Amino acid sequence: MGLQGKVSLVTGAARGIGRAIALLLAEHGSHVVVNDLLEKEGPETVQAIQKLGVKALWAKADISNEQEVKRMFSEVFKHFDHVDILVNNAGVGSPLMVEDMPYEVWRRVIDTNLNAAFICCKEVIPIMQKNRYGRIINISSVAAKKISYHGSAAYTAAKAGLLGFTRHLAYELAPYGITVNAICPGGTLTPRIRERVTPEEMEEEIKRFPIGRWALPEDQAKAVLFLVSDQAEIITGQALDVDGGELLGWMDFETYQKWRKRFVTKK
């Protein structure tokens, strides 16, 4: 895949999709910077990567905060003199309807899912331009093309904005040999889903996926691996749906309400 010796930075890499991406990139020879705020799972992911025979660095930072991102990259560049691959994976959601959503919640979702990708890209673009090489992957969602059934309007708006950002940045950076793409995960059995949805409910919801099963974090990681590999060197500005056919149909409003309520934080 041409990743030997490359340096990757994955945000939100302590668990779930981010962890699967970090591990798969490491399996193919890339050194990996693991960013997250989870102080237990983050270092555990670093240890798992190191066991694969490559270098790994734990980089705790709130990527929605510009100053923390600048500090993080300053530390990264002390260990590695460049970053070849940036995966903007970290994200948060809210189950609140618009009429119930405080502006602070809206801002937090937009800042983490959309603005953070802008901030991180700003830090890696100069070094990628200098090296005339780079791969940037933004983890969006099928919500960007339809709506989120448990992530709210803020989540949908942020993920849709991320696709627009992907297209435009791809155009700006293409002359430098830098590609920018997105993947749009469908329903994926992340730890968050497993914590909040019963096995019976998971089985019931399989009907949403024409392919007959939920996606796994590893499925999303494989899509990222392809897009950062030499095999995809001419692909840029694209959004790859990894959803088992989920976007081929959608749910009725009653089902939407049922799923949304599962993710409302219980007081």
171: annotated active-site residue: no
Q: Rounded CA gap, 95 and 87, in Å?
A: 25
Each residue of 98-146: pLDDT tens digit? 999 999 999 999 999 999 999 999 999 999 999 999 999 999 999 999 9
Calculate mean pLDDT across residues 19-48: 97
pLDDT confidence of residue 265: 59
Arithmetic mean of pLDDT, 35-57:
97
Question: Distance (Å, rounded) from C-alpha 120 to C-alpha 113?
Answer: 12
Polymer length in residues for the chain: 267
Contact 215, 187 (CB under 8 A): yes
The overall longest dimension of the chain from CA atoms, in Å, is: 52
Phi and psi for 52 in degrees, rounded to 5?
-85, 0
Pairwise CA distance, residues 85 & 120, whole Å: 11
pLDDT above 70 for 253 = no
Q: Rounded to 5 degrees, what angle do the CA atoms 44, 76, 13 make?
A: 35
Q: Single out the catalytic residue among 103, 133, 149, 155.
A: 155
Q: Residue 109's pLDDT is what?
A: 96
89: pLDDT strictly greater than 90: yes
pLDDT in tens, 162-205: 999 999 999 999 999 999 999 999 888 888 888 888 888 888 88
DSSP 84-138: SEEEE---------GGG--HHHHHHHHIIIIIHHHHHHHHHHHHHHHHT-EEEEE
Least confident of 8-12, 61-65, 90-94: 90-94
Q: Are the C-beta atoms of 180 and 166 separated by less than 8 Å?
A: yes
pLDDT tens-digit series, residues 195-246? 888 888 888 888 888 888 888 999 999 999 999 999 999 999 999 999 998 8
Contact between 215 and 243 under an 8 Å Cβ cutoff? The reply is yes
More confidently predicted of 209 and 74: 74
